[in-house]
């Protein structure tokens, strides 16, 4: 198979997340809340050859377009990724990720003493740093495995 052949077929409509750092596709699925039980049709390519990146991951989710919150969190773990919105088998919109200045309500603070982990109606707020995120309440910095801190609804 040449590198120019499609490894996964085109989707009729939905989202293709391309140029994900190799090994991060499962974290992308976690961010999107996809666990295989929701009925979504999902295609994943992991460690696929890439001229630009050496190797990359790619995720295709049929019938779903991403929310801005999902895109913001994706930018934290896959800043090189591109989001392609597909309709009628064609790319109708291509979005390059930009890291937001802050993310609200999508990550949980690992500090058990943080006000966001008490039984208080406080939404988490994290400032985005060059190398991680910082809780705006307790100043805890998360640099590793940000995907593990995605708030489960």
Q: How many domains does the chain have?
A: 2
Shared domain for 112 and 141, answered yes or no, is yes
- 138 is known to lie in a ligand binding site: yes
pLDDT at 2: 46
Cα gap 101→125, rounded to integer Å: 11
d(CA 19, CA 63): 20
Is position 23 annotated in a ligand binding site? no
Q: Are residues 69 and 10 in the same domain?
A: yes
Tell me the CATH number at 15. 3.30.70.140
* Domain ranges, residue 130: 102-149
Q: What pLDDT does residue 153 have?
A: 52
* Alpha carbon distance 13, 55 (integer Å): 25
71 and 137 housed in the same domain: no
> Among residues 81, 96, 111, which one ends one of the domains?
96
- Together in a domain, 106 and 91: no
For the stretch 77-109, pLDDT in tens is 888 899 999 999 999 999 998 888 998 888 899
Say whether both 51 and 106 belong to one domain: no
Same domain membership, residue 53 and residue 109: no
Q: Is 107 annotated as a binding residue?
A: no
3-state helix, strand, coil in the chain (%, to 5): 15, 35, 50
| 5 annotated as belonging to a binding site for a ligand | no
Read off the pTM: 0.77
List the beta bridge partners of residue 44: 59
Q: Which two tokens stand for residue 49?
A: 């050859």
Q: In the prediction, which pLDDT does 6 show?
A: 55
Least confident stretch, 3-7, 9-13, 84-88, 108-112: 3-7
In tens, the pLDDT along 41-87 reads 999 999 999 888 899 999 999 999 988 878 888 888 888 899 999 99
Q: Are residues 80 and 15 in the same domain?
A: yes
Is 124 found in the same domain as 54?
A: no
- Residue 42 is predicted with a pLDDT of 93
Do 68 and 47 share a structural domain? yes
65 with 29, same domain?
A: yes
């Amino acid at each position: 198979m040449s590198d120019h052949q499609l490894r996964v077929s085109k989707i009729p409509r939905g989202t293709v997340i391309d140029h994900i750092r190799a090994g991060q596709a499962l974290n992308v699925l976690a961010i999107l809340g996809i666990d295989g039980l929701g009925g979504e049709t999902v295609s994943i390519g992991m460690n696929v050859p890439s001229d630009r990146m050496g190797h990359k991951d790619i995720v295709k989710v049929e019938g779903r377009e991403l929310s801005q919150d999902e895109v913001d969190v994706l930018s934290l773990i896959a800043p090189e990724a591109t989001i392609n919105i597909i309709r009628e088998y064609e790319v109708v919109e291509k979005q390059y990720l930009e890291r937001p200045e802050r993310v609200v309500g999508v990550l949980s603070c690992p500090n058990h003493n943080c006000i966001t982990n008490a039984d208080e109606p406080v939404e988490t707020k994290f400032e985005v740093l060059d190398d991680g995120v910082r809780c705006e309440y307790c100043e805890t910095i998360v640099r590793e495995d940000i995907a593990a801190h995605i708030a489960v609804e």
